[in-house]
Structure 1
Amino acid sequence: MNAKIVFLDVDGTLVDYHNQLPESAVEAIHKAQENGHQVYTVTGRAKAEMYDSLLAIGFDGYIGGNGSYIESQGQVVKEKTLTGEDTKQIVDWLKGRGLEFYLESNNGLFGSDNFNQRGQKTIQEYVAYKGKPDAQQATPATVFPNMIYGGTLYREDVNKISFILDSYEDFLAAQKMFPSLKVGTWGGVGEKALFGDIALKNIDKAVAIDELLNFLAKDVSNSLAFGDAKVDIPMLHHCQIGVAMGNGGNEIKKIADYITASVEDDGLYKAFEHFQLI
């Protein structure tokens, strides 16, 4: 069997929405690597959110910020960030509109003053829409355990800014305010708009995978992508095989080549077995 390169989304694919990592997923990754395959994470998370429990798995590399950062075997392949001017304008606009937010940087997650308090309700909605029965136990601290409050918000190292939507109109207003940037929404199953985010244009998971494959001199015909949400659809389309998690949304299941079990039901391990990676 040819050596494959495997791309894994993190939230809802590698871990559940309480940051719980199944032992079977770790076992599957290690067995696949022992068989000569490479495994990379492809996530919206900044590197600061790749906590020790994840890094200890020993991935071959990492794509973060939905494609704004690429690292392979400890070498930085690509890093693109918002300009300091962009960040200042976004922060000032969000504050002026009364919206709570956090900055996503490889050096940390930096929350606005009231994000922890205002975020409680939205975080619980987010976890509930992802299908978790114990959503009421979720807090900003459990979802973002290393969030920094009181830090500098005018920064040069920000790859993405996420903000709580008080209404869908907030998203539309952000699109109008920042036409040169990419303004999106994210939420739960069905992609209910609970959060907005602002990042550079022309960056997504598929583009980053292509850049990494070119760097590695690997062919896309030997690639597999795993995801659970609408933001993962471009990379499932791009890779030779696209796998949707059983806990994923209907949008991604419709376009997937294969649907595996949920995160909690050893979905990664079962799919790795199905495709004879292990």
Structure 2
Amino acid sequence: MQSIIFFDIDGTLVTEDARAIIPQSTREAIELTRKKGNLTFINSGRTAFNISSRVKELGFDGYICGCGTYIEFGGNVIFSRTIPQDECRRIAELMRKCNVTPVYEHSEGYFFDDKAPVTEGLRYFMDVFVSTGIDVSGRVEDADFGFDKFVIWKNPDSDMELFRKEVSKDYSIIDRGGGFYENVPLGFSKATGIEMILEKLGISMDHAYAIGDSMNDLPMLEAVPNSIAMGGAENIYPYVSYVTTPIEEDGIKNALLHFNLI
């Protein structure tokens, strides 16, 4: 019976540091499971344009991006949901009132707000984006401003009470730690993306596997019966059915071996 495996990116396929290592054993394991007839999918909070060629070259049958707001299979976009522009502009004004630092994520690019305080987190993001050739020219004032989801950093003077009160009406607020929050439209998650793909492909949930390393992976890890935490991701151990070795200790390969997927 064909199985389907959903992979997070950062900390799962690629080391979550400046080295951005993809272990050779990970490359080999993905190739072997596909040769066995299994399907492989990216399931990431990243929006579609921000899936690097290095990751794509590993070999995937499809992509769930932006926490379920964009889904691609076999090279075709089968679902895409961008927030209406009037709502995007409302949120941008609200973020200014809250005095937080946002990055607005669209399937085709990023948008920034020059009126927002500059945080260390934003500086790091911008440095990474520039070093990897990602366009950072998009601004809230642009005519084509829009987003599928957004992230924010809080600042010492941020009104987080107003932020939580207003944003939670229409978005799931995911606390990523360190004053960094990911905000996804209600009704969308890494889990809803899995459900849509399984229904489209006629694959039983029993044959679905998910591998992740952080709290924002919980929706997909809790959605499938075969959930895997990368070694070292202790905060999600209670929520998974198997803990593999760390990423640089053949974590992906060992996980797929454990479930007889290679």
Residue identity in the other structure for 1:141: D
TM-score (norm 1): 0.83
SS for the counterpart of 1:158 is: coil
SS for the counterpart of 1:59 is: coil
- Structure 1: stretches of 5+ with no match in the other structure: 125-137
- Is the 1:112–1:149 Cα contact (8 Å) retained in structure 2? no
2: CA distance, partners of 1:32 / 1:75: 22
- Structure 2: stretches of 5+ with no match in the other structure: none
Aligned residue in 1 for 2:118: 118
Displacement after TM superposition at 1:167 (Å): 5.1
The total of aligned residue pairs comes to: 257
- Is the 1:110–1:147 Cα contact (8 Å) retained in structure 2? no
SS for the counterpart of 2:10 is: coil
Is 2:162 the counterpart of 1:173? yes
Residue identity in the other structure for 1:214: E
Displacement after TM superposition at 1:20 (Å): 2.7
- Is the 1:236–1:256 Cα contact (8 Å) retained in structure 2? yes
Compare 163-172 and 96-105 and name the one that shifted more: 163-172
Aligned residue in 2 for 1:256: 240
SS for the counterpart of 1:180 is: coil
Aligned residue in 1 for 2:128: 142
Is 2:189 the counterpart of 1:204? yes
- Is the 2:98–2:158 Cα contact (8 Å) retained in structure 1? no
Displacement after TM superposition at 1:114 (Å): 7.5
1:274 is aligned, of 242, 246, 258, to 258
2: CA distance, partners of 1:156 / 1:123: 19
Give deviations 1:199-233, integer Å, cap 9, x for gaps.
Answer: 31011111210111001111111111111112222
Give deviations 1:17-54, integer Å, cap 9, x for gaps.
Answer: 13332222121111110111100011100011101111
- Is the 2:113–2:139 Cα contact (8 Å) retained in structure 1? no
1: CA distance, partners of 2:98 / 2:109: 24
CA RMSD of superposed structures (Å): 2.4
Aligned residue in 2 for 1:85: 86
- Is the 2:244–2:255 Cα contact (8 Å) retained in structure 1? yes
Q: 1:45 to 1:34 in 2, by over 3 A?
A: same
Q: 1:84 to 1:94 in 2, by over 3 A?
A: same
Q: 1:64 to 1:171 in 2, by over 3 A?
A: farther
SS for the counterpart of 1:67 is: coil
Q: 1:171 to 1:96 in 2, by over 3 A?
A: closer
Q: 1:177 to 1:264 in 2, by over 3 A?
A: same
- Is the 2:47–2:65 Cα contact (8 Å) retained in structure 1? yes
2: CA distance, partners of 1:184 / 1:256: 22
Compare 55-64 and 177-186 and name the one that shifted more: 177-186
Displacement after TM superposition at 1:193 (Å): 4.5
Q: 1:216 to 1:170 in 2, by over 3 A?
A: farther
- Is the 1:183–1:198 Cα contact (8 Å) retained in structure 2? yes
- Is the 1:164–1:195 Cα contact (8 Å) retained in structure 2? yes
Residue identity in the other structure for 1:90: I
Q: 1:21 to 1:47 in 2, by over 3 A?
A: same
Displacement after TM superposition at 1:143 (Å): 6.4
TM-score (norm 2): 0.88
Aligned residue in 2 for 1:15: 14
